[in-house]
Amino acid sequence: MTNAAISGKGRQAGKSARPGTLSLLLNNTLATAGLIILIAVCLLALAAPVLPLLNPDVTAPANRLLPIFSAGHLLGTDHLGRDLLSRLIWGTRVSLAVGVSATIIAAVFGSVLGLVAGYAGGRTDTVIMRGIDMVMAFPYILLALAIVAVLGPGLLNALYAIALVNIPFFARNIRGITLGLSRREFVDAARLSGKSPAQILFVEILPNVLPVIVITMSTTVGWMILETAGLSFLGLGAQPPQADLGSMLGEGRKILFTAPHVSIVPGVMIFVLVMAINLLGDGVRDILDPRLRAGSLTRPVARTAVLRNPADVPAPSGDENILDVRRLRTEFQIGGTVYHAVGGVDLALRQGECLGIVGESGSGKSVTAMSIMGLVPTPPGRIAGGAAYLEGEDLFAASDRRIRDLRGGSVAYVFQDPLSTLHPLFTVGNQLEEAIRTHQPLSRAQTRQKAIELLSLVRIPNPKERLTAYPHELSGGMRQRICIAMALANDARVLIADEPTTALDVTVQSQILTLMNGLRRERNAAILFITHDFGVVSAICDRIAVMYAGRIVETGKTDDILANPQHPYTAKLIECVPVLGEPERRLDAIEGRPPVVNDLPDGCAFADRCPHAQSLCRTGDIELVAAGANRSVRCLFPVNTDPST
Amino acid sequence: MGAYIAKRLLAAIPVLFGLTIIVFLIMAMIPGDPATAILGSYATPENVAKLNRDLGLDKSLPEQYVIWLGNLFQGDLGRSYSLNRPVLDEVLERFSATLILAGTALVLCSVFGLLAGIVSAVRQYGWADKIITLLVLMGISTPSFFLGLLLILVFAVKLRLFPASGMYAIYGGGDLPDLFHHLTLPALTLSVVATGVVARLTRTAMLEVLRQDYIRTARAKGLPERKVICKHAFKSAFVSVVPVIGIQAGFVIGGAVYIETVFQWPGIGSMLVKAIATRDLLLVQGGVLVVAAAYVLFNLLADVVQTLIDPRLR
């Protein structure tokens, strides 16, 4: 997370080449800095015995409290005249050794506990984890203090205490991973082949858990150095004449006002050391965490970026259209790769009309719908060309303010899964009233009244009581009705429904379709209906546009297309619809997969899966050509061209 | 809702019992003879024997625990040898000072951590994000006891803006402004690490939430971005940050040990350090027990707050 900000560019560049972990790490500027500092400090600490340093413990009362940069004492001297540079390096050596040892002890014991608990499960797991919970119920530092209190002050005891209180972190993390792994096939296979639990744990599971152990170590070693230094600072760790960074700071504190450098020197060293470890740890975690690596934690902005050539904006196709999408191109840039999700789509929608966009997942139908009001997440998405006109107004050129007014006002959306599209923490009443109030200056009471009316409009029983319900308390069908009510709140002229029935079961599906169809007739709203299901299409849509690989391959009146699909893809899609009473019908869809939209083939994108494909299909750009009244098809060799067949 | 809180309260009881067992066992595990450890190596054999009888150390461990627990319920945590007063009195007096310090630090870390995390997420990869990210990293890496010394040097010694130590001025103090004057530096120091942790997790939580479908719904409704962030996104992010703030309570109370020592704040942390140095183990035991119990209650509070916000948890 931390370094993503700085290293975003480096990681993107590295993505396509798939480099090793180390080069990824080196791409990360801050992590590299951390690594270099850490290596330098470690080398200094290791080389302490051979460096030309003064004896750190030799006192020289005549030279006491010399300032920094004194002759012969680069960092000055402390209250006993001991050379601070020498003490610093020797102290760093002790602090590092103690911190690293504590980390290793905690990692070993914690991992073993976690492995055993996660693998054994049942009672063993319960006992171990309850014990861990008990230890974690203590504030961390307090427990370390209590242990030191019992064992007595001393560096070794401080080390034990810090290691002990860190065991739970390892045990918890490792247990979680082990639990998941122990249900996997390769563990079953090892078990069946007669390996002992210990063999399975250490040969099969441990290697898979190792990255987690490494991440946990890299994130805790900084703490442990800090905490041991803290105990020494309090006088509970290193005892004189032995000194670590913490005890140096603790001694310096007594003369803080007269000689602050005696405290500042070891303090800065602790800070630098821990900072370097944390920088490196963050870098390691960024690389090993797949979620961060995929850049999936990028925040989408409020509106899709528009990067079209202003000289090449297509004009609207006609005045009678309420919504007019022209040559829309929407792309996603992920890493160095550009995915052409929508590659030049034309759509037109008249008042009171329902247009269905049909296609497999990944065909670009949802992206087309989201592009219209700028709801495609940026990054990684962007509108690369074309235009969308709402009653003649170019939406891609409109101000943010104007788009906000139109969203939910003139153009309303209904999305696929009503459980994830409603906010789980607000009542449906709150969300519905918010939709009303955003666009209408109504009083609180009027808003409530309107919300109740909307709920009865979408046939929700007891609307008044339902307002106080949370989304999770309602059924799927109810939730989708709420979403539709929200979309209707401001008398939208265009309703964009993105698979509104896909997440619902069949009976609820038909209720919702009937509801939407009725509302369309009552309110004369235009609907853009996205679905992959021809059964749904025939129930509600006047016209259909079939999409494949980001382009429309066939469009026409619903009845015409269902009766004789001309594009081989449409024909195949219709074949996939199950028909009641024909159980033997093939439902195994279309062989092959849709092409990946970052590398579309020349010619027809469907050619590789098409039974009728010829060599001509794989060259040049194939146009969408008229094929009868209100009908066009993007195919050189359309099927069913003779309506009599 | 009420039932849920009652259930959580009941669930905290075994945890509290577990704490008493651990605290009791830690003290029982003192190497060598506890009475000698308490009285020091110059104690006469008669005194050791008497103390063993007084403490019930001649009985079996479970018996000792039951007696100890019985005393605990009657508010008897024993008597401090170094201070010659009941442990409970001393601990409660000290603990109120720690609560003021830790509570202020907790409020500071919540406010600044949440704010920084939100700004950082909303301006992801922008300058504000980079600066906050770097500050957070520095905050997490700074030893709080060192930061405290630095602040004393700058603000107390050089600028003379704040006092370097204590809770009240020795002469003419004692009122609320005086308390705040003394509280500023230690509370700030104590909150730095926790602020960093809260800011980090808020940022991640916000980024995660902003990708959710219901945020798209909020935008599709035509809500202004400010409302999308501050109402819709923040509420969800807050639910996942609340338990973290609960955990930070533990780190803040624990970290108070250093800060109270540096600023000579008369809290339970500085008491513990002195008690460990003087081997006043009953005082250590009482202090640890009270702080640990408070930590359990803090986490319980975080749980309840989380449930109040998230109806799915009820």
Domain-wise residue ranges, chain B: 88-313
Min distance A317 CA to chain B CA atoms (Å)? 26
Helix (H, G, I), strand (E, B) or coil at A235: coil
**What confidence tens digit (pLDDT) does each residue in A368-406 have?**
999 989 898 887 888 888 888 988 888 888 888 898 998
Q: What is the pLDDT of residue A108?
A: 95
**Per-residue model confidence (pLDDT) at position A18:** 46
Compute CA distances B29 → A44, A279, B23, B34, B58, whole Å.
Answer: 40, 39, 10, 9, 15
Return d(Cα A238, Cα A256) in angstroms, integer: 20
Taking a C-beta distance cutoff of 8 angstroms, is the pair A408, B200 a contact? no
**Residue of chain A whose Cα is closest to the Cα of B138:** A275
For B124, the closest of A298, A303, A424 (CB atoms) is A298
Helix axes A428-439, A444-457, angle to 10 degrees: 110
**Integer Cα distance of A557 and A538 in angstroms:** 10
Chain B residue closest in CA terms to A370: B220
Which pair of tokens denotes residue A509? Answer: 């599906």
Nearest to A496 by CA among A486, A506, A505, A511: A486
Size of interface A-B (CB pairs under 8 A): 239
In chain A, what residues touch B206 (CB-CB under 8 Å)? 299
Smallest Cα distance from B177 to chain A, Å: 26
In tens, the pLDDT along A402-440 reads 989 989 888 999 888 888 899 999 999 999 999 999 988
What is the per-residue pLDDT across A129-139, written as a single tens digit (0 to 9) for each?
888 888 888 88
pLDDT confidence of residue A579: 62
Q: Give the whole-number percent of chain A exceeding pLDDT 90.
A: 22
**CA of B290: which chain A residue's CA is closest?**
A138
CA distances from A643 to A191, A479, A573, A611, A627 (A): 63, 43, 19, 20, 12
Cis before A241 (ω within 30): yes
CB contact under 8 A, B137 and A279: yes
Of A1, A226, A417, the CB nearest to B143: A226
Which residues in chain B have Cβ-Cβ distances shorter than 8 Å to A424? Answer: 214, 236, 310-312
* In contact, A153 and A171? CB cutoff 8 Å: no
CATH class of B88-313: mainly alpha
Cα–chain-centroid distance for residue A491? 34
Q: Got the DSSP string for A314-339?
A: PPPS-TTEEEEEEEEEEEEEETTEEE
Asked if B222 and A373 count as a contact pair (C-beta separation under 8 A), the reply is no
- CB contact under 8 Å between A275 and B141, yes or no, is yes
Residues of chain A with pLDDT under 50: 1-18, 587, 643-645
Residue B42's alpha-carbon distances to A116, A192, B45, B48, B289, in angstroms, are 46, 64, 9, 10, 29
Burial of residue B121 (number of CB atoms within 10 Å: 0-12, 13-18, 19+): buried
**Domain residues of chain A, as ranges?**
25-50+74-293
Low-confidence ranges of chain B (pLDDT < 50): none
List, in sequence order, every residue forming a beta bridge with A83; answer none if it has no partner.
A77
> What letter represents residue A546's amino acid?
V
Q: Which residue of B has its CA nearest to A402?
A: B222
In chain B, what residues touch A470 (CB-CB under 8 Å)? 311-312
Residue type, A560: D
Q: Which residues on chain A are in Cβ contact (under 8 Å) with B296?
A: 137
The reported pLDDT for the residue numbered B196 is 94
**For testing contact with chain B, the best of A166, A425, A431 (most B CBs within 10 A):** A425
Q: What angle do CA A244, A271, A29 make, to 5 degrees?
A: 130
Say what the pTM is.
0.85
Q: What is the pLDDT of residue A409?
A: 86
Contact B220 A375 (CB under 8 A): yes
Chain B's closest residue to A249, CA to CA, is: B146
Contacts of B200 in chain A (CB under 8 A): 1-2
B219 and A256 within 8 Å at the Cβ level: the answer is no
Task: Judge residue A596's burial from the number of C-beta atoms within 10 Å of its C-beta, 0-12 exposed, 13-18 middle, 19 or more buried.
Answer: exposed
Show residues of chain B in contact with A143, CB under 8 Å.
Answer: 288
Report pLDDT for A595: 74
Q: For A301-426, where are the E strands, in sequence order? A: 305-306, 321-334, 337-350, 354-358, 381-390, 393-394, 411-414
**Residues of chain A found within 8 Å of residue B224, distances taken between Cβ atoms:** 404
Query: Is A256 close to B153, i.e. CB distance below 8 A?
Result: yes
- Kindly identify which residue of chain B lies nearest to residue A141, measuring between CA atoms: B254
Domain A25-50+74-293 fold is MetI-like fold (1.10.3720)
User: Is A299 in Cβ contact with B121 (below 8 Å)?
Assistant: yes
Residues in chain B with CB shorter than 8 Å from the CB of A278 are 137, 140-141
Residues of chain B contacting A151 with CB distance shorter than 8 Å: 31
The residue whose two tokens read 């040049």 is A620
Out of B157, B225, B254, name the one closest to residue A140 (CB).
B254
Q: Which of A134, A148, A150 to mutate to test the interface with B (most CBs of B within 10 A)?
A: A150
Query: Closest to A146 (Cβ–Cβ): which among B137, B255, B284?
Result: B284
